[in-house]
Chains A and B, each alone.
Chain A
Amino acid sequence: MRLFTFYMFNANGECMYQREWSRERASADEETEHKTLFGLFFTLKDFAKQLDPLGGAEGPCNFYAFTTNNYKLHFFETATGLRLLLTTDESAGDLRAFMKHIYSNIYIEYIVKNAALEPMKPFASDAFTAALDAYTALL
């Protein structure tokens, strides 16, 4: 399974972090791309909730991925408004546990617990990138 890109957004729509392992299409204006990605997640979450045929009877509706013929896009959101987005090739299964691991064991350990970094702000951290690469290499 190939991983393409990874983004983290805060509740204000700022892109806190991004990582590209392989992507063939060059990105357009980065700022526009970030806004588009953020808006996409925001809107799809709402749509999914509205279109839920069970009407929320089985609990809250949580949108977590969409698949196209070329790639799969995975979402993970926390109550603090932190959003993780990951694109992989379409052979990926359910990566919710994987996303949760990135949140709990990499983001929290390297960024949240780092007193020098302000929470929910864009960050650059070699240690985080190294840990992320090491974990994703396991897939």
Chain B
Amino acid sequence: DDGCVAAARTRTRTNDMPPRAPYTKPEVLGAACWQTMDKVNAELFALTHGALVRQIVKDCEDDIDAANAKLDAMGYSMGTRMIEEYLSRTLTSSATPGAGKCGTFEEAAEAVAKIGLRMFLNVGARCVDWDEERTKCTIEMDGNPLAMFVELPEKYGNLGYCNALCGAIRGALEMVRFRVTCTMASDPLKTPHVPDALFAIRMELVEIVPEEYPFDE
């Protein structure tokens, strides 16, 4: 792997569009979008995130619950911005389910797993463990650049190190009218003794917010 993750830049830059196609498989679209993103060194990213988490824990004076909440809020704020970039880059491939508007929670979850995670973090993921009504699923990730070099000491055993990721997904989906809960179903950082554990996010639909005319008349 080229060891890079996508980064946000604050200067103007020509937006390279992914190749126009009537329909591409979500995985292909995700990989194509990844190619066009601005990238930053993965190790730098992981270390910066680690320093940030460490600082948050220190600021919360080792109150792990507060730190977890703060990380989730941070992620949420990022997610509300990332959704626009996601929409902008996937809009050209409008026939792919998940590009542009998602009709169902199932489409949205698949889009997060196959397009979103690939596009921003260059990780492959898939949706598993669906319930009968298709309103809950688990996103299994092949790796997690955020957790590179990370070992949780015992006193921080409850730290939701990946909470920012959960928050980001939640924030992004809320901007497109899907209210969901996102938690880490499986966190190898908390269970280092379990071999071959994967990072997995449990996502459950709370409601699809209907589009309403905002004025009274």
Contact B11 A109 (CB under 8 A): yes
Among residues of A, the one whose C-beta sits closest to the C-beta of B13 is A109
Question: C-beta contact mask, A22-42 vs B, less than 8 Å → 1, else 0?
Answer: 000000000000010011001
A139 on the interface (CB 8 Å rule)?
no
The interface size of chain A toward B, counting residues with CB under 8 Å, comes to: 30
Q: What are the interface flags for A13-29 relative to B under an 8 Å C-beta threshold, 1 for contact and 0 otherwise?
A: 10000000000000000
Q: Which of A60, A78, A101 contacts B84 (CB under 8 A)?
A: A78
Q: Among the listed stretches B40-48, B129-137, B208-216, which one makes contact with chain A, having 4 or more residues with CB under 8 Å of it? A: B208-216
Decide: A119 near B15, CB < 8 A? Known: A11-B214, A35-B215, A39-B215. Answer: no
CB distance from A29 to the nearest CB of B (A): 14
Stretch with Cβ within 8 A of A (4 or more), from B55-63, B85-93, B147-155, B187-195: B85-93
CB pair A79–B100 under 8 Å, yes or no, is yes
Contact mask for chain A residues 59-72; partner B; CB cutoff 8 A; 1 contact, 0 none: 11000000000000
* Number of residues of chain B lying within 8 A (CB) of chain A: 28
With A39-B215, A113-B8, A119-B175 in contact, do A103 and B80 touch (Cβ < 8 Å)? no
Whether A80 lies near B175 (C-beta < 8 A) is yes
- A59 / chain B contacts, CB cutoff of 8 Å: 95
The answer to whether A39 and B87 have CB atoms under 8 Å apart is: no
A103 touches B88 (CB 8 A): yes
A82–B10 Cα distance when bound, in Å, is 21
The reply to whether A108 and B88 form a contact with Cβ atoms under 8 Å apart is yes
CB of B81 closer than 8 Å to a CB of A: yes
Q: Could you say which residues of chain A place their CB within 8 Å of the CB of B95? A: 59
- Nearest B residue to A42 via CB reads B213
Residues of A within 8 A of B88 (CB): 100, 103-104, 108
- Min CB–CB distance B217 → chain A (angstroms): 8
The answer to whether B101 and A13 touch across the interface, beta carbons within 8 angstroms, is no
Output the least CB separation between A37 and chain B (Å): 12
Interface contact A110-B213, CB-CB below 8 Å:
no
B214 touches which one: A12, A100, A109 (CB < 8 A)?
A12
Quick one: which of A95-127 are within 8 Å of B by CB?
100-101, 103-110, 112-114, 119-120
> By CB atoms of chain A within 10 A, which of B81, B100, B176 has the most?
B81
B62 CB → nearest A CB, Å = 27
Q: Which residues of A contact B13 (CB under 8 A)?
A: 105, 109
* A13 in contact with B176 given A104-B15, A108-B84 (CB within 8 Å): no
29 A-B pairs in the complex with CB atoms less than 8 angstroms apart: A11-B211, A11-B214, A13-B214, A38-B215, A39-B213, A42-B213, A59-B95, A79-B100, A79-B176, A79-B177, A80-B83, A80-B84, A82-B84, A104-B15, A104-B88, A104-B89, A105-B12, A105-B13, A105-B15, A106-B12, A107-B84, A108-B88, A109-B12, A112-B84, A113-B10, A113-B81, A119-B80, A119-B84, A120-B80
- Give B contacts to A, CB under 8 Å: 8-15, 80-81, 83-85, 87-89, 91, 95, 100-102, 175-177, 211, 213-215
Please report A residues at the B interface, Cβ cutoff 8 Å. Answer: 11-13, 35, 38-39, 42, 59-60, 78-82, 100-101, 103-110, 112-114, 119-120, 131
